[in-house]
Amino acid sequence: MSVGAARTAATTIGFGAVLVAAGGLLLGLQVDMLGDVSGTGFVQLSIGALVALGVVFLRARSAGLPRDGAGTVGLVALFGGVAFVVSGVLAPGGPWMFFELLLLLLFVVLRKPAQAGEGRGASGATGATGATGATGALVLLALLLLFRLWVTYQGSQREWQLVSIDVPILSSLPFEALDSIKRVDLGSFTPQELNFPPAGLDFPLTTALWAIGFCLCVAGLALLERALAEHENDRIHDLISTLPGPLAGLVERLLPESEWRALGLHGLAERAQAKRIEELVRERLARQREFERAWTASQVLASTQGPGLTSGIQQALLDHGSAAGNNAQGDPR
């Protein structure tokens, strides 16, 4: 079953890489009015690669580095996917492209990475935080994509500005000499900044390609992130499986699979994983023994309290003590 799971994770990594490659190809294409296909340029891709480098670095701090071929392929595909998505949503040129880059870098830097071993014992809280961060990143990228589509639409209509505002009163005067001041153009740009083809851009077809490419890249990134986590879990499970059966089951009960990444087990070499698992088992067993000693020595159980939080906690401890006593006496349950 472990070998089958590892193969499934590796296959998912490969499929996610294919989705990322296809999406990146579509995000880098544009179609002109004659039906010819051309590229969108390498400036955006270089900026996307810069952001992707920061994202991969922050991920490596929390999930570690890949330790085998499948993990390496997944990390490279993850880097390419982030680079393609970022380059695909940035404006084609102009000063606002660098403003968008600043927003992305601020989001990456200010987003607190999930540090390994920070005491994030509640794996559910960790997962909720990660989901919130992923949702925020997706919303930001979608907004940037909409802005790029608007800029592209304006250019395809030969409107070389982001928006044009009519000046009150002046715009209603019937004097041609005032035409130059009747409207205020905001965010002017040129066809060269947009890297438009000479024949003009086929806006519907081009934006359809970009939208499909964006969806493919996002889907590929989601698959890669999940498959890489499953692949690391398979590595840890294979290591624990080298222990005798009952002992391996006890270790997996002390260290649930849902907490392996939060406990800093992902991305470690096999020897480092073994030492980390040993430390965690010792720590949790010591914590359990400390609780048992505190419970045994406590005299609060003998007191009687009215309904409320105190009585509820006392009853839970009494039930725990009864269950421990029955197990010690060989209760068949």
Question: Are 145 and 40 found together in one domain?
Answer: yes
User: Phi first, then psi: what are they for 318, rounded to 5°?
Assistant: -65, -45
Residue 192 lies in a domain: yes
Q: With residue 60 as reference, give the H or E element that holds it.
A: helix 43-63
The encoded tokens of residue 233 equal 């879990």
Q: What is the pTM of this model?
A: 0.72
Question: Are 308 and 178 found together in one domain?
Answer: no
Residue 131 lies in a domain: yes
Band the pLDDT of 66: cuts 50, 70, 90.
confident
Residue 175 lies in a domain: yes
Residues 173-200 as b/e (b if ≥16 CB within 10 A, e otherwise) read eeeeeeeeebeeeeeebebebbbbbeee
Q: Which of 194, 228, 262 is the last residue of a domain?
A: 228
Residue 310 lies in a domain: yes
Question: Are 165 and 33 found together in one domain?
Answer: yes
Q: What are the tens digits of pLDDT across the range 18-51? A: 999 999 999 999 988 888 898 888 888 888 898 8
Residue 239 lies in a domain: no
The SS3 assignment for 331 reads coil
Q: Is the pLDDT of residue 262 over 70?
A: yes
Question: Are 306 and 204 found together in one domain?
Answer: no
* CA atoms lying within 13 Å on the CB side of residue 288: 9
Q: Is the pLDDT of residue 300 over 60?
A: no
Q: Is the pLDDT of residue 288 over 70?
A: yes
The pLDDT of 151-176, averaged and rounded, is: 69
Residue 122 lies in a domain: no
- For residue 306, give its domain range: 300-333
Q: Which of 177, 194, 228 is the last residue of a domain?
A: 228
Residue 174 lies in a domain: yes
Number of independent structural domains in the chain: 2
Q: Which of 197, 228, 259 is the last residue of a domain?
A: 228
Residue 245 lies in a domain: no
Question: Are 29 and 158 found together in one domain?
Answer: yes
How many residues are listed for the chain in this entry? 333
% of the chain with per-residue pLDDT over 70: 71
Of 75-79, 112-116, 161-165, least confident by mean pLDDT is 112-116
Q: With residue 30 as reference, give the H or E element that holds it.
A: strand 29-31
Top-ranked range on mean pLDDT: pick from 120-124, 133-137, 260-264, 317-321: 260-264
